[in-house]
């Protein structure tokens, strides 16, 4: 009645269910590890960039440094690069501050949306594993119990010893389903909260940086107004 023997002697359908759930559990733990590293790296990158950006008064210098490693930018760096490059491009083409600010703001919103796609990747998989794994395990349990009681119809006298192995192997399917679902749900909720906080941080930086760009646009027009 060891767990290994119960798994090995389970019916093919129950074994197939167990295999699916075991695969889902392994894949979900892989996703969990990837997301932990990704979100940790994104938070560290955001903190480092904000510290450097707000500690420096040379926006053009910061932009020049980022353009030298454009292929490796992420998070706030991409948002800043998108907004400032669009700001400079439009400022060379028009003197209309409204068009300039609208264009740079739109570029940063697009960059934030792209970053959201990156950091939200694989979260639906965790949600799917967390929601359907218990039902898949329950299907295996129902199938195993059904086979156990069906086998009782072929004997004259039923005993607990005859039913127990079939029911035990069936219940293992539910246990594996819960083993796959519980971590997936826990980490999905945690990652969703972390992603929301990170995206709020991106949005706040976009708004603050838009204010900085607006001040630059106003300073550019001040000599014309005074004259």
Q: What is the rounded CA–CA span in Å between residue 209 and residue 214?
A: 9
Q: What is the rounded CA–CA span in Å between residue 65 and residue 86?
A: 17
Average model confidence (pLDDT) across the chain: 84
Phi, psi of 117 (to 5 degrees): -60, -35
Give the number of C-alpha atoms closer than 13 A to the C-alpha of residue 183, restricted to the C-beta side: 17
Q: What is the rounded CA–CA span in Å between residue 70 and residue 10?
A: 56
pLDDT number for residue 163: 64
**pLDDT tens-digit profile of 115-167?**
999 999 899 999 999 999 999 988 888 888 877 777 666 666 656 666 666 67
- 54 or 110, higher pLDDT: 110
Query: How many C-beta atoms surround the C-beta of residue 177 within 10 A?
Result: 27
Q: Is the pLDDT of residue 24 over 90?
A: yes
Interacting residues of 175 by C-beta distance below 8 A, sequence separation 6+: 137
Q: Is the pLDDT of residue 227 over 90?
A: no
Q: What is the mean pLDDT of residues 178-193?
A: 94
Which of the four pLDDT bands, split at 50, 70 and 90, describes residue 56? confident
Structural contact between residues 165 and 143, judged by C-beta atoms closer than 8 angstroms: no
pLDDT number for residue 225: 43
pLDDT number for residue 151: 66
Percentage of the chain modeled with pLDDT above 70: 86
């Amino acid at each position: 009645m060891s767990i290994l023997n119960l798994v090995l002697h389970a019916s093919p359908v129950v074994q197939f269910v167990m295999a699916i759930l075991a695969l889902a559990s392994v894949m979900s733990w892989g996703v969990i590890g990837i997301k932990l590293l990704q979100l940790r790296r994104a938070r560290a990158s955001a903190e480092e960039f904000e510290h450097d950006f707000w500690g420096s008064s040379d926006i053009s210098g910061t932009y020049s440094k980022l353009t030298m490693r454009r292929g490796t930018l992420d998070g706030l760096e991409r948002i800043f690069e998108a907004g400032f490059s669009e700001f400079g491009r439009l400022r060379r083409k028009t003197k209309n501050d409204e068009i300039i600010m609208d264009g740079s703001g739109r570029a940063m919103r697009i960059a934030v949306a792209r970053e959201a796609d990156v950091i939200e990747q694989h979260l639906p998989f965790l949600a799917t594993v967390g929601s359907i794994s218990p039902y898949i395990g329950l299907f295996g349990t129902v199938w195993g119990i059904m086979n156990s009681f069906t086998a009782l119809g072929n004997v004259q006298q039923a005993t607990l010893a005859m039913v127990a192995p079939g029911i035990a192997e069936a219940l293992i399917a539910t246990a594996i389903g819960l083993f796959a679902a519980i971590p997936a749900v826990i980490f999905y909720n945690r990652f969703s909260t972390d992603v929301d906080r990170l995206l709020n941080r991106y949005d706040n930086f976009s708004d603050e940086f838009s204010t900085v760009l607006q001040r630059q646009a106003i300073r550019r027009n001040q000599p014309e107004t005074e004259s």
